[in-house]
């Protein structure tokens, strides 16, 4: 499937000289968040080294021109020797560790693979980085699911990590390992925990927003896996990308290593209300079926972004409805039925 060119200008409003010629490793660079982050970094003239188990995907926002600018390495974060060679051999200064098994259903069915990729992959990154004197910042992408189920919401960064299911537990463990590598070895690592990220370039149609958008475009009935009452935080991908870059840029100056930060709108919405909002934005009559078959998922979860707003002065620029409109428009142009 051919994807139309994605405008860098929509990601880069102002040239940021901080990233010019910086050597940056992005693990999972061809995934949804990874491709958006990679595109932004290329627009900021960073020297990007991309690691992924799948490369040159047909479904990506990265153009051939973009990919020509990336030093592409095919491989897994489970391979310590490979990571060690990449970090040392390329004199990497910054790492965005996004590679993970991120689908709850997949992780539930394949717990050993989830633990190997998400936990071992993280300690491999941190151990290889511990042996380098050039690393300035490591941003580890975690999840709100690392907190597990909690009676008192919203989650705050000091909420205990109590993942009870394979994906959730893998993120809880990876977070604690990152914490350990800072406090024991001084590795400059910070953890991000985000709500459900959405936007252009997400081709994983098991997620509710791309699945709903595809159903709208193809005039097909949407099947909602849960009972529709689950509440979640959603946040537009451009805001997450800007937050990640801001955190990496300020990590040393503000002494943020060892810290975790929540990124979200802090405005939870139920799955059903989200779906209805998307149909309304599209000008279509709602057409869905509630299957009520979801297992091993947390019913209610949302984050407090108070800390990141106070420390980094970060705040989302694209609120939910605007982000949904942009997402719908992008898929209408780029989705081939």
Positive or negative: CA dihedral 241, 326, 330, 211? positive
Measured at the CA of 33, the angle between CA 82 and CA 261, to 5 degrees, comes to: 95
CA distances from 294 to 57, 237, 315 (A): 29, 25, 32
Q: Does 155 participate in catalysis according to the annotation?
A: no
Nearest to 159 by CA among 197, 193, 123: 193
Instruction: Read off the tokens for 262.
Output: 């929540």
Q: How far apart are CA 186 and CA 179, in angstroms?
A: 10
Phi, psi angles (nearest 5°) of residue 31: -75, -175
Place of tokens 């078959």: 293
| Catalytic-role residue among 6, 29, 155, 167 | 167
Which tokens sit at 45? 């003239």
Q: What is the C-alpha separation between 7 and 9, in angstroms, rounded?
A: 5
**Angle in degrees, 0-180, between the axes of helices 320-334 and 208-218, rounded to the nearest 10:** 50
Q: Which strand (E) or helix (H) includes residue 89?
A: helix 80-89
Which positions are catalytic?
A: 167
């Amino acid at each position: 499937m051919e994807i139309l060119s994605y405008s860098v200008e929509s990601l880069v409003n102002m040239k940021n000289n901080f990233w010019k010629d910086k050597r940056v490793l992005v693990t999972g660079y061809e995934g949804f968040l990874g491709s958006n982050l990679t595109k932004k970094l290329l627009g900021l003239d960073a020297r990007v080294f991309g690691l992924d188990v799948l490369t040159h995907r047909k479904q990506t926002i990265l153009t051939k021109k973009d990919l020509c600018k990336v030093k592409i390495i095919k491989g897994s974060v489970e391979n310590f020797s490979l990571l060690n060679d990449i970090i040392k051999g390329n004199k990497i200064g910054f790492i965005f560790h996004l590679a993970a098994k991120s689908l709850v259903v997949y992780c539930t069915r394949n717990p050993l693979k989830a633990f190997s990729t998400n936990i071992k992959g993280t300690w491999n990154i941190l151990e290889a980085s511990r042996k380098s004197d050039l690393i300035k910042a490591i941003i580890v992408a975690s999840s709100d699911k690392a907190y597990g189920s909690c009676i008192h919401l919203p989650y705050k960064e000091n909420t205990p990590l109590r993942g009870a299911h394979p994906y959730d537990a893998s993120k809880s463990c990876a977070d604690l390992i990152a914490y350990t590598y800072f406090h024991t070895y001084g590795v400059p690592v910070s953890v991000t925990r985000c709500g459900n990220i959405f936007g252009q370039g997400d081709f994983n149609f098991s997620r509710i927003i791309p699945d709903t958008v595809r159903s709208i475009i193809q005039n097909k009935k949407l099947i909602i896996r849960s009972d529709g009452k689950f509440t979640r935080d959603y946040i537009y991908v451009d805001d997450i990308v800007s937050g990640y870059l801001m955190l990496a840029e300020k990590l040393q100056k503000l002494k943020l290593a060892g810290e975790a930060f929540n990124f979200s709108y802090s405005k939870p919405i139920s799955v059903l209300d989200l779906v209805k909002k998307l149909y309304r934005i599209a000008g279509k009559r709602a057409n869905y079926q509630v299957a009520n078959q979801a297992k091993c998922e947390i019913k209610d979860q949302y984050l407090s972004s108070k800390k990141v707003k106070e420390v980094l002065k970060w705040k989302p620029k694209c609120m939910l409805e605007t982000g949904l409109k942009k997402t719908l428009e992008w898929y209408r142009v780029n989705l081939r039925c």
